[in-house]
Amino acid sequence: VYLCLSIYLSVCVCLSVSVCLSVGRSVDVDVADCSVPQYNNRLDTPLPDVPFVRNLSAEQKKLKEKEKGSWTQLTKEEKLALYRLTHELSYAEMRQGSKEWMTVLGGVFIFLGFTGLLVWWQRVYGESGFNCVDDLFIHPI
């Protein structure tokens, strides 16, 4: 029985290791190369080093070819699409900020609410009237 169990366990371990190794080979981790220019949304540098969209689709390539001509022939939507090829956010959108202050303020109010409940509980119910140490000093044995 022990021999069969050990053979079964060794086969299971070998299978699980081979499955892990095969899964490990199929995973491709994309590591950022910091030696090449990268796209960043930053207020201090609103003109990025590289465009936001690097791999253009066929429609986007047509639009880039049309861009080389007269800009008066471009519609407002096409101009906006060209802008979005190079920038993810406008300067105004970057300055807009987040709604994180609401979360922080909500957490502060929850904390104050629980503190108020604790103070109310102590005022209503107070400390217990029985204290062994005080009773020993008042009425020694």
Q: Which two tokens stand for residue 118?
A: 């604790």
CA distance 46 to 89: 9
The pLDDT of residue 102 is 96
Which of the residues in the chain have pLDDT under 50? 1-23
Phi, psi of 65 (to 5 degrees): -70, -40
Residue % of the chain over a pLDDT of 70: 69
**What distance in Å separates the CA atoms of residue 97 and residue 93, rounded to the nearest whole number?**
8
Report the alpha-carbon distance of residue 53 to residue 96 in Å, rounded. 22
- pLDDT score, position 72: 92
Task: Give the per-residue pLDDT at 31.
Answer: 75
pLDDT at 128: 64
Contact 74, 63 (CB under 8 A): no
Q: What pLDDT does residue 136 have?
A: 63
Cβ proximity of 53 and 39 under 8 Å: no
pLDDT at 4: 46
pLDDT of residue 35: 86
43-56: pLDDT as tens digits: 888 888 899 999 99
> Are the C-beta atoms of residues 48 and 40 closer than 8 Å to each other?
yes
Q: Domains in the chain, ordered, with CATH?
A: 40-96 (1.10.442.10)
Residues 44 and 94 sit within 8 Å (Cβ to Cβ)? no
- Alpha-carbon distances, residue 117 vs 22, 99, 120, 128, 135 (angstroms): 56, 28, 5, 18, 31
